[in-house]
Amino acid sequence: MVSTFEATPNIALIKYWGKRDSKLVLPQNSSISFTLGNSVKTVTSVLFSDRLKEDVAWLNRKKTSGEELARMLLIADLVRQKASISSKVAIASENNFPTAAGIASSASGFAALACAASDAAGLGLNPTELSILARMASGSACRSVLGGFVEWKKGEEKDGGDSHAVQIAPASHWPELHDLIAVAESGRKKIGSSAGMDRTVKTSGLYAKRILDLPSRIAKMRQAIMLRDSQTVFALSMEDSMNMHATMLDTKPPILYLNERSMGIIEAIEELNASEGKLVCGYTFDAGPNAHLICEGKDVAKVKKSVAKLHGIEKFYDCIVGAGPIKLAAKESLLSEAGKPV
Amino acid sequence: MVSTFEATPNIALIKYWGKRDSKLVLPQNSSISFTLGNSVKTVTSVLFSDRLKEDVAWLNRKKTSGEELARMLLIADLVRQKASISSKVAIASENNFPTAAGIASSASGFAALACAASDAAGLGLNPTELSILARMASGSACRSVLGGFVEWKKGEEKDGGDSHAVQIAPASHWPELHDLIAVAESGRKKIGSSAGMDRTVKTSGLYAKRILDLPSRIAKMRQAIMLRDSQTVFALSMEDSMNMHATMLDTKPPILYLNERSMGIIEAIEELNASEGKLVCGYTFDAGPNAHLICEGKDVAKVKKSVAKLHGIEKFYDCIVGAGPIKLAAKESLLSEAGKPV
């Protein structure tokens, strides 16, 4: 039977940048995010069937191969192992946002895949097990298997059994919070985040200080979210984002994902906050030039206006806090019962 | 009598970014530079005369006022105080490179001014005293009063009496070394370095780690210069530059002087070094997007070629190691004996 899940990306307010174990994808530090609620999502269908002749996967209607395929099969293999099945697998996955937009699709993609594969194999994994499964393919995906406000506990165990996401608060805790994504023109090809973070851990002298300072920042962020203290959430999210990008620049050779468009957005938000006499918005950047502008619904128009005038801003996605992955009905499936794209 | 001096900028291989005393311009850390030898220079003439009705200064043939004038008079006032004279002063200063090129002219300018003012007042200050005098107007200027390879000792004394430049080695120690300046198109107006560094000291969490790591990096750089160990000099200069720019990005609000042109140059040099199988060049950036490409004379053409093809590189200045300020003959004066520009 085909199982189909929808999942969404998440935006980290305290970032994940650096592994302590590359194979198991165990992070150097805990991170905190909220799962996005609309506008951007991935739908993934999975079928295990003895009628299939080979493992096959489509991404955005294009048949995958090489590393792309291997990463999707990593999840399928773990599920087959847990379920003790040897059937071949068919996977189809689609994002409703252009990959070229520079919005990370791996978190939503591997969260949806973990949920759909587990369900298709009849495993019935709990959220903790799903989070660990998704983590094996993409660290940040482990946060997208849960809705609302999420902490990825770095864990201590060697096998990674305690390195998974937990919900700090459901989406209903703070429905006013938005992530307004400002898609910024990107000039140059950058290093991938996995290779980039490995390099930072190995070569940045400042990175140890980031890791040392993180536990206190995480505790503050957790509390600020519980109190819906927007001022502190915005301030800490800006601080942590720039702190992470600073360690990237301190990497050998240096890594810089931010560009002049990103810096223009930062300046515009700083000006807006100054003119309002309080923080109405916090900016945070992942491994790319797009700005995630964290603000409350009542301020979205104001925030959008302050950056829309800038040169090189191509598009906005206005995302609310989401409830996490959902199982879709059979009619939403991307695969036929024969394992072909529909 | 008019006194006229020529001085040149210097390029820091271990950077100065942050004061522990703003009024006395005492740095958080020692720094190491070499003084540039040709291509870029400042000529400054000074006259103290009772016939002058007011203090007056010209910069690049334009009469100065406000803060620009005040900063030049700061040096003149200190000299008048030391020499116990009350005459008015006339100052004329000219750079042979466009200010818009983004090459810091304050180091060469205030070094030339300190030398010329001291000489015009008949003070006969020694290099240590001249270095302290220049430091009061611009920190990095204290390194340009000496030639060759220079260390600005941060000092410990409260009055800054031990915070001045000392020569590590004369220009003749390593005449093969060049600073090829690649002038990169600059899009946006940036914060000045003095305000910027004050902000970093106050708000960057990573800055303390930079300061902690610097003494060992400085000791290594000093030794590498003595050994003319180009591999280590290049590696440490890249490391320290990016480390400083990382603390800028970790500043609240963040500061980023590097742009996509700068990053393109970094990539080109990384590729060149990789293809050569050794470091033939190190890049270092001050508070601007221009790259200072440190290499030996035999490799200048190769280095230039590898970055000249990039978009947005406007000009090159090829500088050797210089011997420091020199006194010019009366016929080179920028001022008449009446204190008017000639």
Question: In this complex, is the C-beta atom of B238 within 8 Å of any C-beta atom belonging to chain A?
Answer: yes
Classify B339 in phi/psi space as left (phi over 0), alpha (psi -120 to 50) or beta: left
Secondary structure class of A297 (helix, strand, coil): helix
Contact present, B235 and B279 (Cβ < 8 Å)? yes
Burial of residue B46 (number of CB atoms within 10 Å: 0-12, 13-18, 19+): buried
Secondary structure class of A58 (helix, strand, coil): strand
Give me the interface pTM, i.e. the ipTM.
0.94
Two tokens, residue B209? 């780690």
Question: In this complex, is the C-beta atom of B263 within 8 Å of any C-beta atom belonging to chain A?
Answer: yes
Taking CA–CA distances from B235, the nearest residue in chain A reads A252
- Gap between the Cα atoms of B85 and B72, Å rounded: 17
Residue B177, min C-alpha distance to chain A (Å): 23
Distance of CA A219 to the CA centre of its chain: 21
What residues form DSSP beta bridges with B62?
B59
pLDDT at A271: 97
Question: In this complex, is the C-beta atom of A266 within 8 Å of any C-beta atom belonging to chain B?
Answer: yes
Mutate to test the interface with B, among A203, A211, A232, A243 (most CBs of B within 10 A): A243
DSSP B309-335: TSTTEEEEEEEEB----EEPPGGG-SB
Residue A13, min C-alpha distance to chain B (Å): 16
> By C-alpha distance, which of B180, B184, B181, B179 is closest to B313?
B184
Classify B66 in phi/psi space as left (phi over 0), alpha (psi -120 to 50) or beta: left
> By C-alpha distance, which of A201, A186, A180 is closest to A256?
A186
Taking only Cα atoms into account, the Rg of chain A, rounded to an integer number of angstroms, comes to 20
Q: Enumerate the residues of chain A whose CB falls inside 8 A of the CB of residue B254.
A: 242, 245, 263, 266
Domains, chain A, in order of start with CATH, read 3-171+324-332 (3.30.230.10), 177-320 (3.30.70.890)
**pLDDT band per the 50, 70, 90 thresholds, residue A190:** confident
Two tokens, residue A99? 């990959």
Question: In this complex, is the C-beta atom of A210 within 8 Å of any C-beta atom belonging to chain B?
Answer: yes
Cis omega (within 30 of 0) for bond into A253: yes
Question: In this complex, is the C-beta atom of B247 within 8 Å of any C-beta atom belonging to chain A?
Answer: yes
Secondary structure class of A196 (helix, strand, coil): helix
**pLDDT band per the 50, 70, 90 thresholds, residue A99:** low
Residue A205, min C-alpha distance to chain B (Å): 8
Q: What separation in angstroms does the CA of B194 have from each of A67, A96, B124?
A: 49, 47, 30
Residue A281: partners with Cβ closer than 8 Å, 6 or more residues away: A234, A269, A272, A273, A293, A294, A295, A299, A303
Two tokens, residue B98? 């466009």
Q: Give me chain A's average pLDDT, please.
A: 95
> By C-alpha distance, which of B272, B267, B271 is closest to B291?
B267
Burial of residue B146 (number of CB atoms within 10 Å: 0-12, 13-18, 19+): buried
- 3-class secondary structure for B213-262? HHHHHHHHHHHHHHCCCHHHHHHHHHHHHHHHHHHHHCCCCCCCCCCHHH
Secondary structure class of B178 (helix, strand, coil): strand
Q: What is the pLDDT of residues A177-187, one digit of tens each?
A: 999 999 987 76
Q: Enumerate the residues of chain A whose CB falls inside 8 A of the CB of residue B258.
A: 249, 256
pLDDT at B234: 98
pLDDT at B190: 79
**pLDDT band per the 50, 70, 90 thresholds, residue A301:** very high
| DSSP label at residue B341 | B
Question: In this complex, is the C-beta atom of B205 within 8 Å of any C-beta atom belonging to chain A?
Answer: yes
Yes or no, beta carbons of A260 and B187 under 8 Å apart: yes
Yes or no, beta carbons of A247 and B206 under 8 Å apart: yes
Contact present, A43 and A328 (Cβ < 8 Å)? yes
Q: What is the pLDDT of residues A242-279, one digit of tens each?
A: 999 999 999 999 999 999 999 999 999 999 999 999 99
Residue A247, min C-alpha distance to chain B (Å): 6
Question: In this complex, is the C-beta atom of A310 within 8 Å of any C-beta atom belonging to chain B?
Answer: no
Does the structure show a pLDDT above 90 at A312? no
Contact present, A179 and A319 (Cβ < 8 Å)? yes
Count other C-beta atoms under 10 Å from residue B181's C-beta. 24
Mutate to test the interface with B, among A186, A249, A261, A281 (most CBs of B within 10 A): A249
Counted residue by residue, chain B has a size of 342
User: pLDDT tens digits for chain B (342 residues)?
Assistant: 999 999 999 999 999 999 999 999 999 999 999 999 977 899 999 999 999 999 999 999 999 999 999 999 999 999 999 999 999 999 999 998 776 566 768 999 999 999 999 999 999 899 999 999 999 999 999 999 999 999 999 999 999 999 999 999 999 999 999 999 999 877 656 789 999 999 999 999 999 999 999 999 999 999 999 999 999 999 999 999 999 999 999 999 999 999 999 999 999 999 999 999 999 999 999 999 999 999 999 999 999 999 999 988 988 999 999 999 999 999 999 999 999 999
Tell whether the torsion through CA atoms of B154, B156, B158 and B162 is positive or negative. Answer: negative
Residue A219, min C-alpha distance to chain B (Å): 17
Question: In this complex, is the C-beta atom of A324 within 8 Å of any C-beta atom belonging to chain B?
Answer: no
Question: In this complex, is the C-beta atom of B256 within 8 Å of any C-beta atom belonging to chain A?
Answer: yes
Two tokens, residue B20? 């522990």
**pLDDT band per the 50, 70, 90 thresholds, residue A189:** low
Q: Enumerate the residues of chain B whose CB falls inside 8 A of the CB of residue A266.
A: 253-254
- Gap between the Cα atoms of B256 and B292, Å rounded: 17
pLDDT at B29: 98
> By C-alpha distance, which of A6, A8, A1 is closest to A326?
A6
> By C-alpha distance, which of A134, A133, A62 is closest to A99?
A62
Question: In this complex, is the C-beta atom of B323 within 8 Å of any C-beta atom belonging to chain A?
Answer: no
Residue A225, min C-alpha distance to chain B (Å): 21
Taking CA–CA distances from A235, the nearest residue in chain B reads B252
- Gap between the Cα atoms of B246 and B266, Å rounded: 15
Residue A310, min C-alpha distance to chain B (Å): 12
Yes or no, beta carbons of A205 and B188 under 8 Å apart: no
Yes or no, beta carbons of A206 and B210 under 8 Å apart: yes
pLDDT at A102: 63
Does the structure show a pLDDT above 80 at A103? no
Q: What is the pTM of this model?
A: 0.95
Yes or no, beta carbons of A260 and B260 under 8 Å apart: yes
Secondary structure class of B96 (helix, strand, coil): coil
